[in-house]
Structure 1
């Protein structure tokens, strides 16, 4: 008889070594740590260095390991020994990962530490698991959870988006200047020129535009341009914007929703060499269907941008 697989709630209140890539994966990891009420004094986040990990470090213990590009197998393997060394110091009750490729290293570290391993698939994977998820779910002692209904050995976790709803604001629909924040994300080495071109078609000379561009360097951007921004400043810009235009990355999308903003989403496409696959289209479609955001594409016009500025997001109820 096989041993029953644990529910996610069974890990509540314990300590964890929390390992994830930066960006949306780390954003989700922090939310799961809060929702599971993990023991702060004996838990630690491990991700690549940067402003995001520094922000997490204001509330949790953190450790930085070198950035690993998606699907870089040899570099992922090189993280196992450093993770084990960190784990020996932390002595966690279990290892938690939300992906991406570093989750494989996190599983191997958990095996060396002789503690359970928990993998929660990214909320962006609406239509099915990531490559890491497809590998991990085949391992009997890896406890794999999905926020959607997958077949096989996946257990269901609550959906982090389940408590959000949109509402219409009582503001004018007139063609007025807008305060716009544009975030292209920071994933390297993937540019996102198609979103820049879409934004340039719908902004006006009177709009106040602030950009976070990542590696998409351009000489033709109006307004204030930043390659990266501290998390606190990102949050201020999102909170103060009439509308946020962003790549469909989970981290920025969750922050938009938390700050009550109805995101205008640009979708990275593999065919345009903007990402390793097309998973951003899944989360964008999921949010659009639930009226939690809208997609900017070649059909998107100024009137659509003004329409998006008429909506806000509210949160009601707990996820767990």
Structure 2
């Protein structure tokens, strides 16, 4: 038996990597995603086939990838396929389901109250089982298997500053949506002799993971995209973390034991395809795993320092993610 794991890079891939450890294991598996610094480092020890990037609403890109799904089925004898989206899932799951492969689509944890465009399509595809990561969705066609965030818990573990204040600012791996509205006010706040340095009487060291955001004129040294292991190490060593409210960034920050300040990308500013980050930030705040930034321009040094009083811990016994057999309705084990 061979499982195909397929996901777009960024939060979708980060979720699938984590969830793959919480579902029944097949003797063999193959991963399909796009090649970038995150995926090549995260999946370095896995069997991976990289395909061209399929962007937001990229129907031609979806159609061009279907022959690859056919080849995988023929050559790798795929018996199960699992995806967390986004558009890349449309190239593989409908084709494989039509040919008898057991297919599961797990909607992103970013989608708290309603499915994505991809999810809406796959919900109507026969023989594709669709899962929400929240139990309160009203549509009976969505199964609840668990959440990517179930393995994290808030903890009161105050941290003392060292000789240098270490800050990570991360906006994820989106290749189509810049987020200068977050970076621009942070540049002076975190600058040498800026408000945070003065408040702590310490130098401030910042890792700027900026994605596709242009940062000209801001006087910072950006790292647009980074290997997952390098970013993970920086997050674990950080005193303060400011992130966009994306699922991949959230999972990376939480895995590092940090409670982040999370800024919302908004559709009206061209920062995202819709406003789903509002729901995700609200859910993380409800769980005590993040603090939402209402307006990046209003952030102060005191807001940043307040995050030092809280941390995040990982449960020793993460619950399984419950996939369901489409024929019997039984939970797969």
Provide TM-score, normalisation by structure 2: 0.86
Confirm whether residue 47 of structure 1 aligns to residue 33 of structure 2.
yes
1:20 aligns with 2:10: no
Asked whether the 8 Å contact 2:97–2:127 carries over to 1, the reply is: no
Report the Cα distance in structure 2 between the residues aligned to 1:306 and 1:208, rounded to whole angstroms.
Answer: 14
Residue 50 of structure 1, CA deviation: 1.4
- Paired residues in the alignment total 305
Give 1:73 deviation, angstroms: 1.2
Is the counterpart of residue 244 in structure 1 residue 244 in structure 2? no
Q: How does 1:114-193 map to 2 (within 5 A)?
A: 114-148=100-134, 149-150=136-137, 151-171=139-159, 178-193=165-180
5 Å-filtered alignment, 1:66-105, equals: 66-105=52-91
Alignment match, 1:318: 318
Q: In structure 2, what is the Cα distance between the partners aligned to 1:161 and 1:314? A: 11
Are the structure 2 counterparts of residues 56 and 232 from structure 1 closer, same or farther at C-alpha, using a change threshold of 3 Å?
Answer: closer
> Would you identify which runs of 4 or more consecutive aligned residues in structure 1 move more than 3 Å?
170-174, 220-224
Alpha carbon RMSD of aligned pairs, Å?
2.0
Residue 97 of structure 1 aligns to a residue whose secondary structure is: strand
Paired residue for 2:198? none
> Is the 8 Å Cα contact of residues 161 and 239 (structure 2) preserved in structure 1?
no
Using the alignment, how far apart are the partners of 2:143 and 2:13 within structure 1? 21
Pick aligned residue for 1:225 from 202, 215, 222: 222
- Structure number with the bigger relative contact order (C-alpha 8 A, sep ≥ 6) is 2
Q: What is the aligned counterpart of 2:189 among 195, 202, 208?
A: 202
Q: Deviations over 1:63-89 (max 9, x none)?
A: 000001111112112111112212322
Listed one character per residue, the Cα deviations across residues 233-265 of structure 1 (whole Å, up to 9, x for unaligned) are 111111111011111111121111112011111
Q: Secondary structure at the match of 1:78?
A: helix
Matches of 1:195 and 1:94 in 2, distance apart?
Answer: 40
Matched with 1:38 is 25
**How does the TM-score come out when normalised to structure 1?**
0.89
